[in-house]
Structure 1
Amino acid sequence: MTGFTTLAYVVLLMALVILHNLIKLFWCKSVKGQSKPLPLPPGPVPWPFVGCAPDMLQNKPVGRWILRWMEDMDADIACFRIGNTHVIPVTDPNIAQEFLRNQDGTFMSRPVSMAAQAFSGGYATTVTSPYGEQWKKMRRVLTSEIICPARHKWLHDKRAEEADNLVKHVFNQCQTLGQVDLRHTTRHYCGNVIRRLVFNKRYFGEGRQDGGPTIDEEQHVDALFNALNYLYAFCVSDYFPFLVGLDLDGHEKVVRDCTTTFRRLHEPIINERIEQWRNDSSSQSNGKEPQDLLDVLIMLKDSRGKPLLTPHEVKAQATEIMMAAVDNPSNAVEWAMAEMINRPELLKKAKEELDRVVGQERLVQESDIPQLNYIKACAREAFRLHPIAPFNVPHVALSDAVVAGYRIPRGSHILVSRMGLGRNPRVWDEPLKFKPERHIMSDAVEVVLTEPHLRFISFSTGRRGCIAAQLGTTMTVMLLARLIQGFNWSMPPNVSNINLNESRNDLSLAEPLVVQAEPCLPNHLYPI
């Protein structure tokens, strides 16, 4: 943070919080005569007024610090008070199920945050909106009209085109460079898919003949990932709202930049489409059918025949759909490929399955997914060992509750740890080893990417869980299967091992995965 040392920052923060709390105390009456409550989960001793905020500021990234503290204390549930907010991280599957299943109704809200408010258009959407009527309305829209089996089938051809474009793009990189940046490739495949589903286009402009992104698509995907990284990133003003606007940790600028990119690229398309469907009588009278999810959002009607969603809601929800689709599949596949290239016997086994199920005279299709147990086991193992983020999207307690014998105060933020669940040594044998076979029970049992018992998180569960598991599964498996089927992968020259270190700031690979690739199928299968 420019202009402040950490110490000065802490002193300023404490002074502001003390002043804020003194004002509150002046107006509030103390509550007396209450019985002694159950204990809170264990946690570090908080500072007066500011709680663990100074520790949070000195121990970046915060997620790793929290999990390190829990590991040192051998705690499956903990409590970190930041300001007046109790942050409750969880690393045990049984306790996680208590929050997300058994008492789901109590913990079905979301926290108010600077970034969530900005990206959701003031909580006009589904995933990040606190519990209330707006959330109910938008969730009904998604479950009945957007993310449903009929709509998934309807959009099949668009996904298939992007799977073909993936093969084309990688093939062209092989021909020109001999190497492929798999982080770039996987992220842009996911960006292409979701743009095609929402906007019915891969490119914002004219595009490129080789299937790769232009500068607009590069900026779009970068903005999506930056937005996700900052969505619930322990921003200081989220716990001390009176600091909003000071941007003490620089988060607000990043959020503004992302929203500016989204508006620049999304709004011309959406405004034109709204004009077409709602104001152009010829489109309606000609009985034109919707072509993508944006058309569906715009055409929805209420009981009086009026547009169900405002233009603002359409724009916010379209952005949220895009944000929700890009990070999980691309991260899992990049990690899976890194692990498998390091251990060629795993790649060989995956190729043998593809040869057996699909053969070498056609490209793998979505209809093959149920039979690709080993490919799906590799994806599951990547979700388990290499999650996209330390924690799931936070839940908020709507009332006081008791979980695992501890008091959970109303307003607490519940952070189910993706990393803590997936690497829990009490749940997983050799938790730090990539072992796809651990997910295969027998040849007769189909492997799925969902994990109902919360031993790890691929797609979350409960009323605030992921409702697009089918789309996420399809994108992940098709991405991984097409890469493995279409190309032989190996390490770059003079590299004996892929570096599997994690980035310091997040859980992605420390360095993008750049590897050798050679086409291995008949030439006519590579789209020209």
Structure 2
Amino acid sequence: MTFDAFFLGELGVAVLIFITLHFFIRSITTNSTHLPPGPRGWPILGVLPLLGTMPHVTLTNMAKKFGPIMFLKMGTCDTVVASSPDIAQAFLKALDHNFLNRPTIAGATHLGYNAQDLVFANYGPKWKLLRKLANQHMLGGRALHDWGHVRASEVKHMLKAMQECGKQGELVVVCDLLSCTITNMVSQVVLSKRIFSNKGLEAKEFKDMVVEFMTISGVNIGDFVPCIAWMDLQGVVGKMKRLHKRFDVFLTNIIEEHVKSSHERKGKPDFLDVVMTNGEDPSQERLSFSNIKALLLNLFTAGTDTSTSIIEWALAEMLKNPNILIRAQKEMDEVVGRERVVLESDLPKLPYLQAICKETYRMHPSTPLSVPRVATEACNVNGYYIPKNTRLNVNIWAIGRDPNVWSNPLEFNPERFLRGKSAKVDPSGVDFELIPFGGGRRICAGDRMAIVVIQYILGSLVHSFDWKLPNGEDLNMDEAFGLTLQKAVPLSAMVSPRLLSHAYV
């Protein structure tokens, strides 16, 4: 036997042993790392081609087949989807420490100033500082109380504008008016001034920018197949970059104008004053100019769009179910009367209004799929192995329509929150059957503010006006998927005053 023949024979044996061992080890690994069930996807693209235009609905239907915890390939990325309260709690409470970070996605990079904002920044000192400043000076309980007069002032502006629409016989485009009102609430706290008029073109353009921001933030295929991200097949990254430039000009201008007027606020700093002063303090974690702009971007986009969409959905459901609207108005007439508008201090006395808000959170959560998180380390959930770097999505929309949790889940019925166990359900991340703002340490920073604003504005609209659709119009309840869940067709309606005329002054 020649040396070459001997060598080739030995090499063949080695290859055979290697292949045998490889499959043996893989078999052991597969058995010991039992992944959750899930659908088989396409090569490279995984389940992406199966998701369609309404991924939250598709994933809900998949969960009916594979169960409340699914493992699937989103492109080349390992992804786990939680679709029940118990599984969501397992991830967001028991394993919250392991899912505190976000994956790198184009929206965070190109819109969120390279993930330097409160939504997409990795968990750490900078994120904690942003969260602390937002809570202490704008979003926390004491700050919410201190800024109550701002919300009351803006609601008055809104009601007067709507009263004028009613007098003129004009349609009220609900989302436009709500966006302007809530943006002005935010700007008064952040900048000490209103930035939009109720019917201004600037307000409409800004609202359209916010909707585009939310629509394109979660639809980039390059986030799931990184090797082709550079191609930008959908043109989404190009849109993000152009939109970012528009937002950056807006934010840079308001910051520069704010600095010039700082002498006018001596002794009465607003939120931006506090944030910018903190960035200059060498004894504390330093905030960059990009951090500050990214935080403002969060407040002016997520801070307005989520509340706007919930209120619009709630009004649409009441127009679809007039008996609910009549009952809500009756409750407010008994508590408030018709000689004045609703005050925030009235809200605890309006359980049916609170039930309407909860039912809207359940059926129309502003964020149908939670903002993704990523596993820092491998872990086990309900006996299943979750590999390191697996992305986590909680299907909040599916949880709200789970027949194992809710009776007649497709029926809009606020009364379910007035009796039994459901009457005590808390939407602020405590009870996982209703988590419109997420849960755990990375729950939406503005959840408390959103709950107050939604109840207060919705109550004011329902109490102050009678509502009806334009003659001959059907009520379209279709959804438009994005980072937030918009109505596909914005709600427009005719309004007529219910209160004595002096109440609107």
Give matches, 1:43-442, under 5 Å.
43-55=38-50, 59-71=52-64, 73-203=65-195, 207=197, 211-212=198-199, 214-233=200-219, 235-274=220-259, 277=262, 283=263, 288-300=266-278, 304=282, 308-441=286-419
Relative to structure 1, is the Cα distance of residues 321 and 31 closer, same or farther in structure 2, using a 3 angstrom cutoff? farther
- Post-superposition offset of 1:455: 0.9
Closer, same or farther: CA 504–126 of 1 in aligned 2, 3 Å: closer
Distance change in 2, residues 1:80/1:448 (3 Å): closer
**In the aligned structure 1, how far is the partner of 2:50 from the partner of 2:329?**
48
Alpha-carbon distance in 1 for matches of 2:458, 2:122 = 35
SS at match of 1:390: coil
Deviation at 1:160, TM superposition (A): 1.3
Change (3 A) 1:483 1:287: closer
Judging changes above 3 Å, is the alpha-carbon distance between structure 1 residues 480 and 62 closer, same or farther for their aligned structure 2 residues? Answer: same
Counterpart-to-counterpart distance in 1, 2:44 and 2:337: 65
1:40 corresponds to which residue?
35
| Unaligned ranges ≥5, structure 1 | 1-29, 278-282
Question: What's the RMSD between the two structures over aligned residues?
Answer: 2.7
How far does the alpha carbon of each residue in 1:471-516 deviate from its partner, in whole angstroms, 9 at most, with x for none?
A: 1011101111110111011232234x53333347774333222222
Tell me if structure 2 keeps the 8 A contact 1:219–1:261.
no
Does the 8 Å contact 1:401/1:408 carry over to 2? Answer: yes
Q: Is the CA contact (8 Å cut-off) linking 2:108 and 2:120 kept in structure 1?
A: yes
Q: CA–CA distance in 2 between the matches of 1:148 and 1:66? A: 34
Pair 32,309 (structure 1): closer, same or farther in 2 beyond 3 Å: farther
In structure 1, the partner of 2:16 is none
Give the distance between the partners of 2:179 and 2:336, measured in 1 at CA. 25
User: Which letter maps to 1:516?
Assistant: M
User: Identity of paired residues, percent?
Assistant: 27
Which residue is 2:6 aligned to? none
Rounded to whole Å, the distance in 2 between the matches of 1:377 and 1:431 is 15
Conservation of the 8 A alpha-carbon contact between 2:429 and 2:440: no
Cα deviations by residue, 1:71-126 (Å, 9 ceiling, x for unpaired): 3x152121221343111111110000000001110111111111112222112222
In structure 1, C-alpha distance between the alignment counterparts of 2:136 and 2:202, rounded to whole Å: 32
Match of 2:478 in 1: 501
TM-score (norm: length of structure 1): 0.84
User: Residue in 2 aligned with 1:14?
Assistant: none
TM-score (norm 2): 0.87
Q: How far apart are the structure 2 equivalents of 1:413 and 1:400? A: 11
TM-aligned CA distance change 1:499 to 1:120, over 3 Å:
closer
Shift of 1:421: 0.4
Higher helix share: 2
**Which digits, 9 at most, give the CA deviation of each residue in 1:453-485, with x for residues without a partner?**
211322222111123222101110111111011
Q: Distance in 1 between matches of 2:94 and 2:61?
A: 28
Residues 396/201 of structure 1: CA separation in 2 closer, same or farther (3 Å cut)? same
Query: Larger radius of gyration, structure 1 or 2?
Result: 2
2:12 corresponds to which residue? none
Contact 2:191-2:270 within 8 A present in 1 as well: yes
Structure 1 residue 166: Cα displacement:
1.3
Rounded Cα–Cα distance in structure 2 between residues aligned with 1:367 and 1:515: 28
Greater CA deviation, 159-168 or 139-148? Answer: 139-148
Assess, with a 3 A threshold, how the Cα gap between structure 1 residues 187 and 32 changes in structure 2: closer, same or farther.
farther
